[in-house]
Structure 1
Amino acid sequence: MTTTTVHNDLNPEIILSTADHHQLNILAMAGLNHTPEQSDNLLYELERARVLDANSVPADIVRMGSTVRYRTDAGQEPQVTVVYPVDADIAEGRISVLTPVGTALIGLRVGQSITWRDRAHKRHMLTVLSVEQPGA
């Protein structure tokens, strides 16, 4: 007898500030003509997010401008800052929220894991290890 295990995508609760949620909705809608798949992915995340006023968002939540250290399913521990596309510079560790990893990270908190798909549709998992807010 053969047993098959089905692995569903891991979609933990995410939290966004009202301001980030609003700005990211504008970005995702504007990107539908240029980066439709990634814009759709961001819209999906925004739709399922719990939206709070900025003062109620816990300090360990990945926000726009947050510097995040995370563990990949390959055991690497990169540190990146999640930014808008215009500010992205991979050589400087600034990744766009419109990249698959950026979209996966936004709204997560320390200790949470999420599965995400790269541009080749391969599934990966990452776990947030630390979050530093801008100006902290």
Structure 2
Amino acid sequence: MPERIVYITDYDYKRLGLLLESMNSVPQNRRNDLSCLENELESCRVVAPNEIPANVVTLNSRIRYFNLNSKEERIVTLVFPSNADLSKGRVSIISPLGAAILGYAEGDVVVWKTFSGRKTIRIEEVIYQPEAAGDFHL
């Protein structure tokens, strides 16, 4: 099986790097679970916004996923922490789910660890992706 490529736009890459740097500079903001996002940034393929495939999850993307553990389907939007609101389906990029789905594409199965065990979802659809819509600076 070929290794999966995680795509991240150069714009998102820079903003996420600054976010992580800011969080890690304040001792009470340091979290061990951010290592997943840091690892993604270390191994991703950084591309221009107009080069990212339209089926890849980027910041501000709205997706539909199927939870293989609970057999439930959900629609969420991946956002920065300041815009997060679970009651409105806005998932923070620094949450375990948010960090896990960044850079994955439709059809991908995503697995990550949480305090309560392993979670597994399948990304069914990227309903809206800013880059595909020409919204390059959201």
TM over 0.5: yes
- The answer to whether residue 95 in structure 2 is matched with residue 99 in structure 1 is yes
Find runs of 4+ consecutive structure 1 residues off by over 3 angstroms: none
- The answer to whether residue 40 in structure 2 is matched with residue 38 in structure 1 is no
What is the distance in 2 between the residues matched to 1:99 and 1:43? 13
Gaps of 5+ in 1: 1-10
- The answer to whether residue 75 in structure 2 is matched with residue 79 in structure 1 is yes
Using structure 2 for the length normalisation, give the TM-score.
Answer: 0.83
Task: Describe the SS at the equivalent of 1:130.
Answer: strand
Gaps of 5+ in 2: 134-138
| Residue identity (%) | 30
Conserved 8 A contact 1:12-1:113: no
Cα-Cα RMSD: 1.7
**How far did residue 121 of structure 1 move?**
5.5
Using structure 1 for the length normalisation, give the TM-score.
Answer: 0.84
- The answer to whether residue 17 in structure 2 is matched with residue 25 in structure 1 is yes
Q: Mean Cα displacement is larger for which, 50-59 or 32-41?
A: 32-41
**How far did residue 13 of structure 1 move?**
2.5
What is the distance in 2 between the residues matched to 1:35 and 1:87? 20
